[in-house]
Chains A and B, each alone.
Chain A
Amino acid sequence: MFDGAKDQTALVRMDGLHKSFGPVRVLQGLDIEMKRGDRVVVIGPSGGGKSTLLRVLMGLENINAGSISFGGQPYISVKDGKTVIDPKVRRSIGMVFQHYTLFPHLSVLQNLILAPCKVNGESASGAKERARALLTRFGLGAKADAYPNQLSGGQKQRVAIARALMLDPKLMLFDEVTSALDPELVAEVEQVMLELAAQDMPMVIVTHDMWFARNIASRVIFCAGGVVVEDGPPEQVLGSPIHERTREFINRVFHIRT
């Protein structure tokens, strides 16, 4: 998509997000605006609320205060202490998790067509055709009839990505999708994500892989203590961060990797 002007319009606006688990305050007034052209990588200390942020965006968690709009439409808000989520908007967001979430009783193909058929009422034959094309594109054409327990971790995560793409999402969320994988399987999953990036799919990615972050991000957000500490292009946030906390975190993570 070559449309620079359109890419600058806001896709997601998060305003003053507050989220607590009992006494644990995880998100403490988060404001993030994401443009259509953005590929946001979120980094930060473990337990800092990165997963919670993605789960809130996916409409999987209630929030205590704040609001989210998506493509200019109200998506999530809080009314009388209750979280109100627009399910139509939620359907345009896809998510891939850290843990394997392929449904074990369904084959790869059945995993892919379940939501298109049940939620969108697509015909099974049409959905299967799209699913096979997608699997072939991801190098999984031979695995259509396999069951999840017959796949490697890397294959499972690639199928999970394909399953989310079946619903034509306008935004994809990735929560540490490679951190459960054996090191030699990480690249094949990251490759698929880089391919999506090349097609300008808007994404929010949580990862600890700084090499990958640098390669895929158009923008890096460092979250700690439930707020955005630093937000900027990857060269800045990963290369020469402004804030002391960011610098300390980057040094620690790079130190572990080398």
Chain B
Amino acid sequence: MDYSLDLGAVTRNFGPLLEGLWVTIQLTLAANVIGLVLGFVIALLVMSRVALIRVPATAFVEFFRCTPAIVQIVWFFYCVPMLFNIYLGSMTMGIVALGLNLAAFNGEAYRAAIQSVPREHRDAAVALGLSPLQSTLHIILPTAFRLAIPVLLTNGIVIFQQSALVAIVAVPDLMYEAKSLATKTYRPIETFTIVALVYFAVSFPISQLVGWLERRRSVAMA
């Protein structure tokens, strides 16, 4: 192989990569805000006893879980403006597409957590005279949130990684800047290796945190 490594080509051009990383982080944070809030609403809708509410909410969740994220993003960018006459900036489109995807997955995390609150805890709340609303607010939701945190965090970092997909629709995120840098410098190995390491450096500590939370919880539940 006739290719000598030259990391300088990348380090000299770190500015655009950092700007890209900042865009990626903004995408991730904004998508997580949508995912955490809308996901909770979706969980409530999915558990509704009214079929007219439950069925569309379930369809929403299944659509996002059963199609590739890249197809969702492309569909969003090309079809939403044509179908609904809605034109948003590419960044906003990226945030909304990633946020809706995350909301579907977080919705499932919330639902599973709410349903895994032990029946005995609900019974104890009734025995203590709490109304259904008080029991939901003071017992079920706080317990469920704690149970859901590791999954919500994991979904959050998955979205950080998935956000690289919006590069294909010209959002200037980390991946987008990396591609243009690689093209400009003819240094794809150095560029993409460093970019991979950057994604890893952000994701790894959070995934360790998730592992630690889960170990702590299995001790707490014992």
Contacts and interface: CB of A to CB of B under 8 A. Distances in A.
A99 B117 CA distance: 13
Contact of B121 (A87, A103, A118, A119): A103
A34 interface: no
Given A119-B128, A119-B129, A149 B120 contact: no
B114 to A, nearest CB: 14
B143 A114 contact: no
Interface stretch (B80-88, B105-113, B134-142, B190-198): B134-142
B138 A114 contact: yes
Interface of A: 55, 58-60, 87, 90-91, 93-95, 97, 99-101, 103-105, 114-115, 118-120, 149, 160, 163-164, 167
Interface string B61-96: 000000000000000000000000000000000000
A58 B127 contact: yes
B158 interface: no
B145 to A, nearest CB: 8
Interface residues of B, number: 19
A90 B219 CA distance: 35
A118 B139 CA distance: 12
Contact of A59 (B121, B126, B142): B126
A95 B128 CA distance: 8
B167 to A, nearest CB: 41
A60 B130 contact: no
Nearest to B135: A118
B73 to A, nearest CB: 37
Given A93-B127, A103-B121, A167-B129, 4 more contacts: A58-B126, A95-B124, A104-B221, A149-B220
Contact of B142 (A58, A60, A105, A115): A105
Given A97-B120, A118-B134, A118-B138, A104 B127 contact: no
B120 A103 contact: no
B8 interface: no
B123 A55 contact: yes
Nearest to A115: B128
Given A97-B120, A114-B138, A105 B127 contact: no
